[in-house]
């Protein structure tokens, strides 16, 4: 059994760790509220914009959508992996890294060339060891705004229109609640028209200017919004995952501290008992 000083030092160390994890939990909880409000407010807009454009595209000729709807044989694939810059958030980063690696290996097995864009330092640190990194950005999460995200979206869109890549997918964590995040792998380009519904979803609307012009002008905005929504989703998921992880770490540290305190008290009691026995034994020997 460890001596009293060692146990006391461990109790002090765990107490300090509890203070850190508890503080990180509170910070993440405060950031989560703001991030959750942002994604909740923009999610209906982004969903409706995507739905509208897909319905409109389904009523037009395939060429109307422009370069962003141009489907060609898939030979080069770009995966956009959205992680975080910091750890201590449970399986948040590892789940994205695993999903990205599995997707990349699956495409490579089919004979396709795969490149990756990493948004977040944690994903880049590991994925760069195995795959070609087309572009990376670590600063985007410092000031996560639509304008900053639009710059990255334009770079991705240009790589598709220039036929550098034939297919582009986003891989990120979708925020459900503070304790649960779902890994999403969705197609970014080319845009796929929603032709599943045989009815003309736009029949109740009068368009000015024409549907064709509306689509051509809104498609770039839709793509930028789609990436921004994914970034916001991931940002909220990160803080939710970190808050949950720090909550569990604080609880585990508290349980370990209680266990060590009990061990310390037992060892201290045993030491006192041993000293009393020595004194009594010495007194008996003097008699």
Average pLDDT in the 54-64 region?
61
Which of 38-47, 189-198, 205-214 has the highest mean predicted lDDT (pLDDT)?
A: 38-47
Give me the half-sphere count of Cα atoms (radius 13 Å) on the Cβ side of residue 196. 4
Q: State how far the Cα of 15 lies from the Cα of 260, in Å rounded to an integer.
A: 11
> The domain at 22-245 falls in which architecture?
3-Layer(aba) Sandwich (3.40)
**pLDDT score for 70:** 83
What digits encode the pLDDT tens for the residues 262-279? 988 988 888 888 888 888
Catalytic residue among 89, 126, 243, 249: 89
Give every CB contact of residue 220 below 8 A, 6+ residues apart in sequence: 68, 154, 157
**pLDDT score for 110:** 95
The pLDDT of residue 206 is above 50: yes
What digits encode the pLDDT tens for the residues 171-181? 999 988 878 88
Annotated catalytic, 89? yes
What's the chain's average pLDDT?
86
Nearest Cα to Cα of residue 96 among 237, 239, 247, 244 = 237
The pLDDT of residue 197 is above 70: no
What digits encode the pLDDT tens for the residues 9-23? 999 999 999 999 999
What digits encode the pLDDT tens for the residues 148-160? 999 999 999 999 9
What digits encode the pLDDT tens for the residues 66-113? 678 888 899 999 999 999 999 889 899 999 999 999 999 999 999 999
Average pLDDT in the 236-248 region?
92
The pLDDT of residue 229 is above 70: yes
DSSP E strand stretches across the chain: 76-82, 113-119, 132-137, 167-177, 180-189
**pLDDT score for 198:** 44
Q: State how far the Cα of 64 lies from the Cα of 264, in Å rounded to an integer.
A: 76
Give pTM, 2 decimals: 0.84
Which region, left, alpha or beta, applies to residue 209 given φ > 0 means left and ψ of -120 to 50 means alpha? beta
Contact 83, 122 (CB under 8 A): yes
The pLDDT of residue 193 is above 70: no
Percentage with pLDDT > 70 across the chain: 90
Nearest Cα to Cα of residue 60 among 222, 226, 194, 204 = 194
Contact 187, 167 (CB under 8 A): yes
Bridge partner list, 177: 180
């Amino acid at each position: 059994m460890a001596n009293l000083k060692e146990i006391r030092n461990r109790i002090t160390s765990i107490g300090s760790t509890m203070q850190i994890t508890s503080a990180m939990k509170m910070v993440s909880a405060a950031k989560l509220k703001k991030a959750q409000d942002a994604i909740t407010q923009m999610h209906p807009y982004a969903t409706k914009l995507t739905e509208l454009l897909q319905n409109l595209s389904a009523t037009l000729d395939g060429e109307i959508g422009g370069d962003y709807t141009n489907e060609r044989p898939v030979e080069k694939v770009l995966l956009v992996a959205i992680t975080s810059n910091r750890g201590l958030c449970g399986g948040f980063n590892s789940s994205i890294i695993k999903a990205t690696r599995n997707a990349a290996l699956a495409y490579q097995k089919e004979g396709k060339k795969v490149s990756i864009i990493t948004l977040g330092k944690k994903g880049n640190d590991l994925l760069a060891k195995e795959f070609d990194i087309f572009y990376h950005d670590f600063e985007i999460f410092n000031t996560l705004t639509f304008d900053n995200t639009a710059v990255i979206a334009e770079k991705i869109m240009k790589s598709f229109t220039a036929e550098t890549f034939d297919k582009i997918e986003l891989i990120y964590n979708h925020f459900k609640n503070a304790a649960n995040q779902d890994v999403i792998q969705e197609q970014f380009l080319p845009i796929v028209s929603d032709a599943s519904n045989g009815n003309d979803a736009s029949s109740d609307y009068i368009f000015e200017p024409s549907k064709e012009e509306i689509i051509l002008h809104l498609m770039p905005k839709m793509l930028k919004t789609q990436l921004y929504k994914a970034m916001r989703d991931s940002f909220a998921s990160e803080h939710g995952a970190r808050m949950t992880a720090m909550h569990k770490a604080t609880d585990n540290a508290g349980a370990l501290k209680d266990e060590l305190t009990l061990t310390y008290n037992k060892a201290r009691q045993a030491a006192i008992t041993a000293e009393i026995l020595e004194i009594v034994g010495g007194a008996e020997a003097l008699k």
